[in-house]
Amino acid sequence: MKKHHINFVFVLLSIFTVLIPSIGKTQAPPLSSVDAIWVLQIKGAIGPATSDYIVRAIQEAHDNDASLIVIQIDTPGGLDLAMREIIQSILDSSIPVVSYVFPEGARSASAGTYIQYASHIAAMAPATNLGAATPVQIGMPSVPAGPDDSADEPGTAPATAMERKIVNDASAYIRSLAELRGRNVYWAETAVTEAASLSANEALQENVIDFVATDLADLLSQIDGMSVDVREQVVTINTKDKSVEYHDPDWRTNFLAVISNPNLILILGMIGIYGIIIEFYSPGVGIPGVVGAICLLLAAYGLQLLPISYAGLGLIMLGLALMITEALIPSFGVLGIGGVIAFIFGAIILVDTDVDVYQVSLPLVAAIGVFSVLLIGITLHLFIRIRKKKAVSGVQTIVGLTGNPVDDFTAEGMVKIQGELWKARTDTPLNKGDEVKVLSVDGLTLHVSKT
C-alpha cells in the first residue's frame, strides 16, 4: 500500500476514534413495566437528535402503556423544526406529558418555552428560568440580533417585513398553545416579541407554569390526583406506587447528535473529496475511493438533518468542483484559489440558523482553507518541476546526443545514434566517420551538425 494511502487511512481512523466513543456512550434500555412513569430529558440545544429521541420515546411509552411522561428540560433553545416535531408529538400523545425545568440552575429558553406551553403540565425547579422565545430561525433567513442583545433583555421590534412575518408566526404559535392549555396568553406573546424571561416563582404567579417542585419526587407528589385534558378527554393523574423509569438517549440519538454537527460534516466532506482525488491519481487500490464515498454519504446524511442555506451549499459544491479540477488539470492556481474562496464563503453561510451550537466554526473553515491552499501550492510546485524536467522517453530524448554518418552526404543521409540508424538532414557536408550532434527532431528525421 502506498504511503499516502496509509496516511489517508490513519486520518480517517483518527476521526472515527473520536466519533465512535461518542456514539457508544449509552446504556441498554431498561425493561419497561406497564403503567410506569417514563422520565425523558432534553439537555443542551434542541436539534434533530433531540427531536428524534423525544418523538421515539413518546411512541415507545404508548407501546408500553406508560401512565405518565415527564420531560426534564435544561436547554438554551434550538432549531424550530426540531421544536415543532417535539410539540406535535406531545399534542398527539394520549398519555399526559409533564415538562419540568430541572435541576436547579437549569433554564428553558426559546424553544424550551414553547415545549413548556405545549405540555399538559408545566413545572420548574427553584432557581430556574424560562422565556426569551424570540425566534432566531423559523425555516427562513434569521432575524438579525443587535451586538448588545441577550436572552434576558427586551427584544427590539422587527425591522423588515420578513422579520415581522417570522415574529408574528411565532407569536400566533405560542398563543395557540397557551389558549389550549389555559395558560397566560399575554406573557407568552411578550416572551416572543420582547424576549421576556421569568424565574420559577414568577412563572407560577403569572400562570405560565402549574407547579414549582424541588425534585422529581416532590413534583410527582404535587400532581397526584390532578385532572388534565388529554385529547379532549379528562385524565386523572395517579402517581402513587408507580415505578419511575429513566429512558436516556440511546446510540441512535448519540449518533445523530454527532453526525448533525456542521463542523464534522465539513470534515467528512473534505475527507471524501480528497479520498476520491487520491483514487483518481493512483487507481487500483480502492481504499481512498471507498472511504471517500462513505464519508461523502455520511456528510450528505448530516446535511439533510439541518436547516441548510442552498446558496451556501451551492458555493461549497462549486468550490470543491474547482479544487478537484485544479488537482486534475492544473491551471496555475486560478481554479484552485477560486475554489477555496467559494468554499470558505459557502461554509460560513452553510447552516441557516443563529443557534450557536449549529454554527460552523470559523477557525475550522480557516484551517480547511489554509490546508487546501497548501495542497494546491504543492500540486502546482510538482507540476512546474515536471514541466522543467528533460524528457526521459520518446523521440525527443535523442536531442543532444552524438553519432556518426554512415556515408558521405551533403544534405540528407543516414546517421547512427547509439546503435540506431536515423534519417538525417544537415546544412554542411558530412563525411563518413565525422562526429555529429542532434540539434532537433522533425517527425522521424534528425537535424544534425558536425561537432
- Residues annotated as catalytic (active site), given as ranges: 110, 165
Q: Are 132 and 153 in contact (CB under 8 A)?
A: no
With CA atoms as reference, report the closest residue to 51 among 392, 298, 307: 307
Contact 329, 382 (CB under 8 A): no
Given CA atoms 333, 335, 339, 342 in this order, what sign does their dihedral have? Answer: positive
Interstrand relation of 129-131 and 97-101 (parallel, antiparallel or unpaired): unpaired
User: Minimal CA–CA distance to 44: which of 359, 357, 303, 361?
Assistant: 357
**Number of other residues whose CB lies within 10 A of the CB of residue 230:** 15
Answer positive or negative: Cα dihedral of 360, 362, 367, 373: positive
Give the span between the Cα atoms of 131 and 150, in whole angstroms.
12
**SS3 of residue 391 by DSSP:** coil
**Where is 55: in which H helix or E strand?**
helix 48-63
Q: What letter represents residue 277's amino acid?
A: I
| Cβ-proximal residues to 137 (8 Å cutoff; 6+ apart), any chain | 79, 80, 143, 307, 352, 353, 354, 355
Q: How far is residue 393's CA from residue 271's CA, in Å, rounded to a whole number?
A: 36
- Helix %, strand %, coil % of the chain (to 5): 50, 20, 35
Cell of 206: 403569572
Which residues lie across from 68 on neighbouring strands? 37
CB atoms within 10 A of CB 427: 11
**H or E element, residue 69:** strand 68-74
